[in-house]
Amino acid sequence: MTATRIAVHGDSPYEVVIGPGVLDELPGLLGARVRTVAVVHNAGLPEIAGPVCKALEQAGYTVHALPVPDGEAAKEVGVLAGLWSDFARLGITRSDAVVGVGGGATTDLAGFAAASWLRGVKAVLVPTTLLGMVDAAVGGKTGINIPEGKNLVGAFHPPAGVLCELTTLTTMPREDYVSGLAEVIKAGFIADPKILELVEDDPQGAASPAGRHTRELVERAVRVKAEVVSADLRESGLREILNYGHTLAHAIEKAEEYRFRHGHAVAIGMVYAAELGRLTGRLPAEVVDRHRAVLTSVGLPTGYPAAAWPVLREGMRVDKKARGATLRFVVLDGLADPGRLEGPADDLLAAAYQAIAR
């Protein structure tokens, strides 16, 4: 089956290549100038990292596999510092490269390691999860977490390319796959309602990599993100719409010490943002109801404990979208019509939370 190529424009343009068998393109993305490749991979994915390393070795590169912890545990300062030490030990130069293989946390880490080593070396990302393919690996945002918040330390560092090998999705645990589906659904609400129709047409199939719409859902979600980041690489305006649902989501993740699935938090955060839109008279109630229906149909949560509100409200104070003391939310003025809500009153924030509390 022919690979799908989606261009991401900007100062450093690249392609997201989607399909089965796309790993064959990895050597071409690295080029002849690169000699040594550090393959930063999820420690739990030897069956995927192994073939990547073998393909690079057969292409003539010197390859060093560098395993990192699974999930958000990879995005810690200590893990990043360990990679820097590894790069120094291996003699990684500006003409060498980093390949990130794994979920969104691994590609975030690998990208930031590449961005910060010698002020920037080439990176190619091979996301192996749905979340990584449709969100984390596309757009050039890299980062790590600190105790005070998620992704507060990072850099913009566009990769030389992103390879979405769809066959890797079949290795994912169901709950992790469904978690990634939240970002796909988000793309439907902010830009491409056809995504919502595909999910509604076959919710059970949408929740599985074997579903009949899987490839189209991935491609549509990637196109949404590619179009947005092409127009706004550094999040100066338009790109903020990709953060729909993320203000509360990041507060939930922080409160849960990053043991809560990102997509589950985003699902809850989208319903919260929808309620903010409803309470301010910007979003019809039927669109809020559609949020709950679509998310629930694939097994994603739409509420969070009522008693958690004080902790979550405090957690939202430290948010990348805030400007000074002003808290900013992405909200919808209608389906596929995102806008911004700046400086909402505390009683409004609390009322919207009460609408999702359980």
For the chain, what percentages of helix, strand and coil (3-state, to nearest 5) are there?
A: 50, 20, 30
Assess whether 317 carries a catalytic annotation. no
Q: Which of 183, 219, 240, 253 is catalytic?
A: 183
Q: Does 92 share its domain with 205?
A: no
DSSP reduced 3-state for 318: coil
Q: Which of 200, 227, 235, 256 is catalytic?
A: 235
- Token digits of residue 292: 């709950």
Assess whether 250 carries a catalytic annotation. yes
Q: Which of 141, 278, 292, 328 is catalytic?
A: 141
First and final C-alpha spacing in the chain: 46
Alpha carbons 17 and 23: distance in angstroms, whole number? 9
Per the document, the length of the chain is: 358
Task: Name residue 300's amino acid.
Answer: L
Whether 223 maps to a domain, the answer reads yes
Q: Does 215 share its domain with 276?
A: yes
Residue 217 sits in a domain whose CATH number is 1.20.1090.10
Q: Does 147 share its domain with 158?
A: yes
pLDDT, position 321: 54
Q: Does 188 share its domain with 337?
A: yes
DSSP reduced 3-state for 68: strand
Last residue of a domain, one of 136, 153, 171: 171
Whether 134 maps to a domain, the answer reads yes
Q: Does 139 share its domain with 251?
A: no
Residue 118, number of CB atoms within 10 A of its CB: 13
Q: Does 60 share its domain with 201?
A: no
Whether 125 maps to a domain, the answer reads yes
Contact call for residues 139 and 109 (beta carbons, < 8 A): no
Last residue of a domain, one of 171, 193, 210: 171
What is the pTM (predicted TM-score) of this model? 0.93
Whether 218 maps to a domain, the answer reads yes
Burial class (CB in 10 A: 0-12, 13-18, 19+), 152: middle
Alpha carbons 115 and 106: distance in angstroms, whole number? 14
Q: Which of 239, 264, 291, 328 is catalytic?
A: 239
Q: Per the annotation, does 167 bind a ligand?
A: no
Q: Per the annotation, does 322 bind a ligand?
A: no
Q: Per the annotation, does 169 bind a ligand?
A: yes
Residue 118 sits in a domain whose CATH number is 3.40.50.1970
Q: Does 326 share its domain with 254?
A: yes
Q: Per the annotation, does 71 bind a ligand?
A: yes
Whether 238 maps to a domain, the answer reads no
Q: Per the annotation, does 70 bind a ligand?
A: yes
The boundaries of the domain holding residue 102 are: 4-171
Q: Does 164 share its domain with 220?
A: no
Q: Does 165 share its domain with 207?
A: no
Q: Does 192 share its domain with 329?
A: yes
Q: Which of 33, 47, 89, 119 is catalytic?
A: 119
Q: Which of 41, 122, 186, 262 is catalytic?
A: 262
- Counted domains in the chain: 2
Q: What pairing do the DSSP bridges indicate for beta strands 149-156 and 122-127? A: unpaired
Q: Per the annotation, does 129 bind a ligand?
A: yes
Assess whether 246 carries a catalytic annotation. yes
Whether 140 maps to a domain, the answer reads yes
Alpha carbons 52 and 43: distance in angstroms, whole number? 14
Region of 149 (left: φ > 0; alpha: ψ -120 to 50; beta: rest) is: left
Last residue of a domain, one of 132, 151, 171: 171
Nearest to 123 by CA among 134, 114, 113: 114
* Helical H segments across the chain, by residue range: 26-30, 46-58, 77-90, 104-116, 130-131, 174-190, 193-201, 203-206, 214-231, 246-255, 262-279, 285-297, 309-315, 346-356
Q: Does 250 share its domain with 113?
A: no
Assess whether 47 carries a catalytic annotation. no
Alpha carbons 54 and 41: distance in angstroms, whole number? 14
Q: Does 254 share its domain with 265?
A: yes
Whether 83 maps to a domain, the answer reads yes
pLDDT in tens, the chain (358 residues): 699 999 999 889 999 999 999 999 999 999 999 999 999 999 988 888 998 999 999 999 999 999 999 988 999 999 999 999 999 999 999 999 999 999 999 999 999 999 999 999 999 999 999 999 999 889 889 999 988 888 889 999 999 999 999 999 998 999 999 999 999 999 999 999 999 999 999 999 999 999 999 999 999 999 999 999 998 766 667 889 999 999 999 999 999 988 899 999 999 999 999 999 999 999 999 999 999 999 999 999 999 999 999 999 999 987 655 555 689 999 999 999 999 999 999 999 999 999 999 9
Q: Per the annotation, does 86 bind a ligand?
A: no
Whether 264 maps to a domain, the answer reads yes
Contact call for residues 96 and 121 (beta carbons, < 8 A): yes
- Token digits of residue 258: 């990053």
Q: Per the annotation, does 170 bind a ligand?
A: yes
